[in-house]
C-alpha cells in the first residue's frame, strides 16, 4: 500500500501543517490502496508564498532556460512512464491497456507539445514604433480531476512552466496517486524550488483557499460545472483570471447519408471508453427515426463484445467507475431513465454478471428517448448512451444545441461537405467528423457552461500570459 502523506512545497517534501489523512480506494477491489494527507489553508499559504518568491526569478527566465527544463521534464517522465500508468489503473480503474497507451501517454504528450511550441513561440510583436510583450501571468492555482488525471495535470503544468509561471497543483483527492508521482518527476527533473508545488486536499479546504488567495494570479480548473462555478465565485473578489474546462452532454449526429454500421459502432465504443468518464463523451446519439431500430440492434451487438472486469487483465476493455459515489449516481440515473419511459436496449441497473465487488457498471444503451428526459439533460459520467430519434436535419441540429453545455460535438456522414456544414452549426468547442481525433496541438475547451479558455498546444499558452504594450519602444 502506498503512503503518500507529504506535500511538495518550495522544492522539498514536507509534512502537512495540520495532519489529516484520507484513504484512497481502489475502485476495482473496493480496498484501500493508499493513504494521503488532506491539506489546509495554512498549507496553501505556505505554497503560495514559495511560488510568489520563485516567480521573481523564474518569471524572468530565458526561453533557452525553460526549453532545457522541459527537456529534463520529458526525460524524467519517460523514466517513470510505467509507474504513472500503474498508478492510474490502480487509483481510478482504467484498464491496463488504456492506462499505458492513452492515459499515461497524455502527460508525456503535453510536455512534448509544450516543448515544441516553446521553441518557436513569439513572446514579442512590433506594431510600428510600439512593442507588445507576452509575459507570464504569475502564480497559478491548478485544480485537476480524477478521470484523466495526468492528461489534465500535463495540459496545465506544461504550458505554465513553458511561459514562466509558478504554480500550486491540487490533484483530485479521489485519484491522487499519479499526481504524486508527477510531483516526484518535477523534483527529479530539477524544476527550481517554488516553481512547482503540490498539495493534496479537497475542494472546500485547499480548492477554496487557492481560489480566493490574493497572491494567486490565475485559477485553472477542470471538473464539474457546479464546482467550476464555485471556483469562479471565490476568485471574483480578487479579480483573478479563471479558466475552466467543465461538463458536457455532447451530441453525436448520425446523418441520413452516414454509414450506419460504422457510425453507431464508433459512437458506442467511444461512449464506453474510460467507462464513460470523459467530459467530451458522445453521450447523446441522434439517429434518423426511420433507422432507429436498426441502430439499436447495432448498439446491442457492439455492447455484447465489451469485456468488463479486472483492469489488470489484458482482455478487459472497460473497468469500474472511480468510486462508490460515482457508482451510486450512475445507478440512480439509469433507474431514472427507465422510470421516465426510455427504452432500455441493453444493460441496466446493477453490476455486470459475475462481478460482485468493485464499482462496475453494466454498459447501457437507452433508446426512444427525448431531449427533455433527465438522462438526456444531465451529465451521467458513466457508460450510458442515450439514443434520440429525429425526423429532419434541422430538428437534429436544434436538439444538438438544446443543452446548457457545449464542450464537444460529433457528426457522421459519407459526404464531407455535408458533415462540415452541420459541424459549423453546432455550438461547441470541439467537433469531430467521422471519428477524427485531435492531437496535442489542437485547442480543447468549451462553449456555454462547458467553460472558458482553451488548453493544449500553442492555444494553451495564451491563458497563462498577460499582454503588455510598450508604446514608443522603437523611438
d(CA 182, CA 188): 10
C-alpha cell at 295: 441502430
Asked if 108 and 115 touch (Cβ cutoff 8 Å), the reply is no
Q: Residue 228: exposed, middle, or buried by beta-carbon count in 10 A (0-12, 13-18, 19+)?
A: buried
Angle between the N-to-C axes of helices 63-79 and 81-92, in degrees from 0 to 180, rounded to the nearest 10: 70
Asked if 309 and 29 touch (Cβ cutoff 8 Å), the reply is no
SS3 content of the chain, % helix, strand, coil (to 5): 40, 20, 35
Asked if 407 and 400 touch (Cβ cutoff 8 Å), the reply is no
Which residue is catalytic, options 140, 155, 165, 279?
279
d(CA 318, CA 298): 19
Q: Residue 2: exposed, middle, or buried by beta-carbon count in 10 A (0-12, 13-18, 19+)?
A: middle
Which residue is catalytic, options 91, 113, 245, 296?
245
d(CA 217, CA 182): 23
For this structure, is 245 an active site residue?
yes
Stated length of the chain:
475
Asked if 260 and 294 touch (Cβ cutoff 8 Å), the reply is yes
- Radius of gyration for the alpha carbons in the chain, expressed in angstroms and rounded: 23
For this structure, is 33 an active site residue?
no
The phi, psi pair for 214, rounded to 5°, reads -70, -20
CA nearest to 375, candidates 406, 338, 407: 338
Bridge partners, residue 452, by sequence: 244
Q: SS3 for 40?
A: coil
Catalytically active residues, by annotation: 245, 279
Amino acid at each position: 500500500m502506498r503512503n503518500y502523506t507529504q506535500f511538495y512545497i518550495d522544492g522539498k517534501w514536507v509534512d502537512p501543517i495540520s495532519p489529516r489523512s484520507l484513504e484512497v480506494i481502489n475502485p476495482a477491489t473496493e480496498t484501500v490502496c493508499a493513504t494521503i494527507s488532506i491539506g489546509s489553508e495554512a498549507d496553501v499559504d505556505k505554497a503560495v508564498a514559495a511560488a510568489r518568491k520563485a516567480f521573481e526569478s523564474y518569471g524572468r527566465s530565458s526561453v533557452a532556460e525553460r526549453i532545457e527544463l522541459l527537456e529534463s521534464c520529458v526525460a524524467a517522465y519517460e523514466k517513470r512512464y510505467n509507474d504513472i500508468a500503474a498508478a492510474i489503473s490502480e487509483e481510478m480503474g482504467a484498464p491496463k491497456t488504456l492506462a499505458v497507451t492513452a492515459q499515461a501517454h497524455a502527460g508525456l504528450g503535453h510536455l512534448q507539445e509544450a516543448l515544441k511550441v516553446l521553441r518557436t513561440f513569439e513572446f514579442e510583436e512590433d506594431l510600428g514604433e510600439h512593442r507588445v510583450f507576452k509575459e507570464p501571468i504569475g502564480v497559478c492555482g491548478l485544480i485537476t480531476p480524477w478521470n484523466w488525471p495526468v492528461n489534465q495535470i500535463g495540459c496545465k503544468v506544461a504550458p505554465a512552466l513553458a511561459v514562466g509561471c509558478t504554480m500550486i497543483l491540487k490533484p483530485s483527492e479521489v485519484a491522487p496517486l499519479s499526481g504524486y508521482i508527477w510531483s516526484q518527476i518535477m523534483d527529479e527533473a530539477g524544476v527550481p524550488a517554488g516553481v512547482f508545488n503540490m498539495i493534496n486536499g479537497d475542494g472546500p479546504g485547499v480548492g477554496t483557499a487557492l481560489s480566493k488567495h490574493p497572491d494567486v494570479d490565475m485559477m485553472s480548473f477542470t471538473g464539474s460545472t457546479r464546482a467550476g462555478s464555485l471556483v469562479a465565485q471565490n476568485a471574483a473578489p480578487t479579480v483573478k483570471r479563471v479558466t475552466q474546462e467543465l461538463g458536457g452532454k455532447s451530441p453525436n449526429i448520425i446523418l441520413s447519408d452516414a454509414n450506419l454500421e460504422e457510425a453507431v459502432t464508433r459512437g458506442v465504443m467511444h461512449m464506453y471508453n474510460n467507462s464513460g468518464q470523459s467530459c467530451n463523451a458522445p453521450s447523446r446519439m441522434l439517429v434518423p427515426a426511420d433507422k432507429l431500430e436498426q441502430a439499436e440492434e447495432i448498439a446491442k451487438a457492439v455492447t455484447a463484445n465489451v469485456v468488463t472486469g479486472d483492469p489488470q487483465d489484458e482482455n478487459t476493455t472497460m473497468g469500474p467507475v472511480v468510486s462508490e459515489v460515482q457508482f451510486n449516481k450512475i445507478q440512480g440515473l439509469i433507474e431514472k431513465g427507465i422510470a421516465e419511459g426510455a427504452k432500455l436496449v441493453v444493460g441496466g441497473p446493477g453490476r455486470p454478471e459475475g462481478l460482485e465487488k468493485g464499482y462496475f457498471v453494466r454498459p447501457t444503451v437507452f433508446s426512444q428517448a427525448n431531449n427533455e428526459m433527465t438522462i438526456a439533460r444531465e451529465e451521467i459520467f458513466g457508460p450510458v448512451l442515450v439514443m434520440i430519434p429525429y425526423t429532419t436535419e434541422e430538428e437534429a441540429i436544434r436538439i444538438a444545441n438544446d443543452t446548457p453545455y457545449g464542450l464537444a460535438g460529433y457528426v457522421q456522414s459519407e459526404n464531407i461537405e455535408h458533415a462540415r456544414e452541420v459541424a459549423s452549426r453546432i455550438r461547441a468547442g470541439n467537433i469531430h467528423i467521422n471519428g477524427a481525433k485531435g492531437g496535442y496541438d489542437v485547442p480543447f475547451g468549451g462553449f456555454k457552461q462547458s467553460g472558458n479558455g482553451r488548453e493544449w498546444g500553442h492555444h494553451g499558452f495564451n491563458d497563462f500570459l498577460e499582454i503588455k504594450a510598450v508604446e514608443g519602444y522603437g523611438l
